[in-house]
Structure 1
Amino acid sequence: MPDAIKNILLSWGRGRNALLYGPPATGKTRLISELFEILNSPPEAEQGIWLDPAETETPFVRPELEIPIPRPVKVVWTTFHQSYGYEDFVLGLRPEMTSEGTQLRPWSGVFLDAALEISDPETDVNSVVIFIDEINRGNAARIFGEFMTFLDFDYREEGSVPLPLPLRQLSFESGVSEEIRRPGGKTATIPEGFTFPKHVYVVSTMNSVDRAAVPIDSALARRFDRIEMRPNLDVLGKLWGLTRETINAPTDENWETLSPFETTYLLLDRLNALIAGDLGPEFELGHGLLVSIQAAASDTGVPISEDQVWRDIARVWDDVLFPQLEDRYSGRPEQLIELLRVDSPPATGEIAWALRTTIGNSSPTRTLAPVRVSDLDLEIVKRSFRWLTR
């Protein structure tokens, strides 16, 4: 996580916006929420410490990079979704009751309001950072509209080709716009020829496998530095006291003795290798799906029994991991059967997954029989997950 934060700061320092992308549960939203809190802290805290949740022994470290944007900083959080529009992000018209009847008044959205905040002569803010979670959950090209141009710092104030804001929705008189309503009861006006201020920065996240999301187009994407967030086994290793060097590859001789944490670590590694080879790395499973599996109670620090850990693994499998696999392999039952090694079970002992049969017909179909692993006998749970590591 500290490396990703450094990359975001480096992008801002170069006059660029940052886009974190990758599979679900790789820490994208968590990372920008931590950065949000850091920037939202008093100035003396902004050069203080970084928190690395993956580092259990020394989670707090001194940053190697100073924040390269002028302070004080105002931070704004927003999440794109399917009903989010240009009116929310740039400029919208809302009805207002007056003595002359109902009139439409302009209201600034998040992006325009950031420009108005910096340009306000009474403000003490020198930079605004806009955090956009799930940028591809909305129609980003429509949400930005013509203001997509001003994601490029070259077209802002102090840029190489500064351009005036194209605010055709506003009426102007004597070179000044009508009043624009702002959040918090404030108002503002804009002079003709107003250019977008330099110090407005954007950091956003994008889920690389969400089929319900709208892909962002190339014109928008090229205005961001893309920072990939990949599944990270080291996060789980630090959480469970494991390292790559101390985990032996599962063999015919040792697979039945793997600990629950070794099993889960190796299982995620194998599943992601197979998914990446079949569907592509953007479809891998994020390590965050497994961080709820703990080695010790969070409130007391008392170690959790191995049997309980196995039960926790089965619960996470049923509620989190397997639904993700079903979604990725929707309409491809043979690939899912192969992934779960249904056709190649261990020589002795039952495993959780089997082919489905019908009443009165013992011939199996080529689909999986429904099962909740967490309801099975504990020995079957252990054998099943250990077998999947090979």
Structure 2
Amino acid sequence: MTNKIDDILSSWSAGRNALLYGPPATGKTRLISELFDALNNPPKAHKGILLDVADAAKPFSRPEQEITIPQPIKVVWTTFHQSYGYEDFVMGLRPEITDTGTRLQPWAGIFLDAALELADSESEYKSVVIFIDEINRGNAARIFGEFMTFLDFDYRDGGLVPLPLPLRQLTYEEGQSEEISRPGGKSASIPEGFTFPRHIYIVSTMNSVDRAAVPIDSALARRFNRIEMRPSLSVLAQLWDLDETTIPAPTDANWETLSPFVTSYLLLDRLNVAVSTDLGREFEFGHGLLTPVLAKKTADDGTIQPVEENDAWRSLAKTWDEMLFPQLEDRYSGRPQQLLDLLHVDTAPPAGGYAWTLRTNLGSTVAASTLAPVRVSELDIEVIKRSFRWLTR
């Protein structure tokens, strides 16, 4: 993931915003949240950022990747959603009762407030970075409105064609706007012809498979450097202390001996190959779905110890029931036979119990073609082992 940090910082250095996209659970939100924390609490002695995914407690350190945007940096976090609007991000008008009656008071949203921050001669900040999680869960084109233009650095102060802010909601007297309320009780006004400051940067995330989200239109998308976040088996191998060069392909000779962690690794690999083939790579499963399956635990005396093998199998089964299988059902909605094939329902192990079977109907001669409901985590441990090992094939 270190190279993703490099990509974000390089985008900012080149005067571009960054958009992390990919399937859920590939680490997009975690990456930008830790970058947010690193920029918000920078060490005084260095200017770079280095990401070490093996250090869960403190993944970021310095120096290596130099931060080339001006410092100090103000960071702002927001999450788009269906009720999020232009009024929250750019500017809204709120009723305010005065001695002479009720008036509409302008309130700066996050994007406009960033511009006002850098225009404030008393501000300590030289840059503002806005972190937007789930950018496609709101109507992004409506949220940005005409300010979409200023995502392009060419139209900002110091750009090729700097343009004035198009805030026609404001009234001006003698070349100065009315007061605009800002977060924290501050207020500001802007002169006519005010141009958008250059050093405002955005990094955002987008789930590529979220059916409830609003697709980002091309006008907005082309104003971002798109950085793909892919499912990573290597992250799981590191979490479970697996040597990827020694992980075997499941065969008739070895499938019954696979450990719970090798099984989990191979399971995600097989599911993603199948899903990518059937539906497209944007529908794959992120590695984060399997991170609850832990290889180590903290004992009562504070020491780190390996988990019992049966506990690891139960953890995999619980993760399957609560996270993996519901998403698998959603992806294969309307494709029941493909789901049955993926689960090897018609080609179960030659001996012993198996988790996934066809639904039965007492007293009926109708052949069932739907999956019988099952919570794998509640099955006998030997059935759990056999089922997941067989599913890797």
**TM-score band, normalised by shorter chain:** over 0.9
Change (3 A) 1:237 1:86: same
Structure 2 distance, partners of 1:227, 1:385, is: 33
Unaligned 5+ residue runs, structure 1?
none
| 1:38 and 1:45 in contact (8 A); partners too | no
CA–CA separation in structure 2 for the residues paired with 1:292 and 1:50: 25
Partner of 1:101: 101
The match for 2:65 is 65
Cα separation, 1, equivalents of 2:258 and 2:161: 62
Cα distance in structure 2, aligned partners of 1:224 and 1:140: 13
- Residues 49 and 71 of structure 1: is their aligned pair in 2 closer, same or farther, counting only changes over 3 Å? closer
8 Å contact from structure 2 (residues 96, 105) kept in 1: yes
Looking at structure 2, the residues matched to 59 and 215 of structure 1 have their Cα atoms a distance apart, in angstroms, of 32
Distance in structure 1 (CA, Å) of the matches to 2:362 and 2:276: 37
Overall identity of the aligned pairs, in %: 70
Amino acid in structure 1 at the alignment position of 2:374: V
Aligned residue number for residue 329 of structure 2: 326
Q: Choose from 323, 344, 348 the match for 1:345.
A: 348
**Pairwise CA RMSD of aligned residues?**
1.6
Distance 1:341 1:143, change over 3 A: same
Shift of 1:359: 2.1
Residues 83-122 of structure 1: pairs in structure 2 closer than 5 A:
83-122=83-122
Q: Would you say the 8 A contact 2:48–2:66 is kept in 1?
A: no
Aligned-pair CA distance for 1:121: 0.9
SS at match of 1:64: strand
Q: Secondary structure at the match of 1:167?
A: coil
Report the Cα distance in structure 2 between the residues aligned to 1:147 and 1:40, rounded to whole angstroms: 25
Partner of 2:29: 29
Separation of aligned partners in 2, 1:307 and 1:45? 48
Match of 2:198 in 1: 198
Is 1:382–2:376 an aligned residue pair?
no
Q: Counterparts of 2:200 and 2:118 in 1: how far apart (Å)?
A: 8
**Residues 143, 389 of structure 1: CA spacing in aligned structure 2 closer, same or farther, 3 A cutoff?**
same
CA-CA distance at 1:52 after TM superposition:
2.2
In structure 2, do the counterparts of structure 1 residues 179 and 250 end up closer, same or farther at CA, with 3 Å as the change threshold?
A: same
Number of the residue aligned with 1:285? 285
CA contact (8 A) 2:136 2:215 kept: yes
Q: CA deviation at 1:348?
A: 1.1
Task: Name the SS for the 2:245 alignment partner.
Answer: coil
Larger deviation: 357-366 or 43-52? 43-52
Counterpart AA for 1:348: A
> Aligned AA for 1:305?
E
Contact 2:49 2:67 in 1 (8 A): no
Superposed, 1:1-390 pairs within 5 Å as: 1-42=1-42, 44=44, 47=47, 50-54=50-54, 62-298=62-298, 300-361=303-364, 363-390=366-393
- Matched residues in 1 for 2:122 and 2:67: separation? 24
Query: Following the alignment from structure 1 to structure 2, what is the Cα–Cα distance between the partners of residues 81 and 304?
Result: 39
With normalisation by structure 1, the TM-score equals 0.97
Label 1:43 to 1:73 Cα distance change in 2 as closer, same or farther (>3 A): farther
CA gap 1:46/1:118 in 2 versus in 1, 3 angstroms: farther
Q: What is the deviation of 1:54?
A: 4.0
Q: By how many angstroms is 1:42 displaced?
A: 3.8
State the alpha-carbon separation in 1 of the partners of residues 235 and 101 from structure 2.
60
Paired with 1:186 and 1:13, the residues of 2 have a C-alpha distance of: 30
CA distance in 2, matches of 1:347, 1:307: 23
Contact conserved, 2:49 with 2:66, CA < 8 A, in 1? no
Give per-residue Cα distances to partners, 1:191-219, cap 9 Å, x unaligned.
00000000000000000000000000000
1:65 aligned counterpart, secondary structure: strand
Code of the aligned partner of 2:314: R
Tell me by how many angstroms 1:62 deviates: 4.3
Deviations 1:90-132, CA, capped at 9 Å, x for gaps: 0000111211222110000000000000000110110000000
Moved more, 123-132 or 325-334: 325-334
TM-score by structure 2 length?
0.96
Q: Compute the displacement of 1:53 (Å).
A: 2.4
SS at match of 1:19: strand
Helix, strand or coil at the partner of 1:337: helix
Instruction: Please report how far the alpha carbon of residue 284 of structure 1 lies from its aligned counterpart in structure 2 after TM superposition.
Output: 0.3
Q: Distance in 1 between matches of 2:143 and 2:88?
A: 8
Query: C-alpha separation between the residues in 1 aligned to 2:58 and 2:106?
Result: 50
Aligned residues: 390
C-alpha distance after superposition, 1:150-170 (max 9, x if no partner):
000000000000000100000
Distance in 1 of aligned mates of 2:243 and 2:47: 31
Q: Distance in 2 between matches of 1:39 and 1:245?
A: 36
133 and 255 in structure 1: CA distance in 2 versus 1, 3 angstrom threshold: same
Q: Deviations over 1:346-389 (max 9, x none)?
A: 11112100111112236541110000000100000000000010
Amino acid at match of 2:155: Y
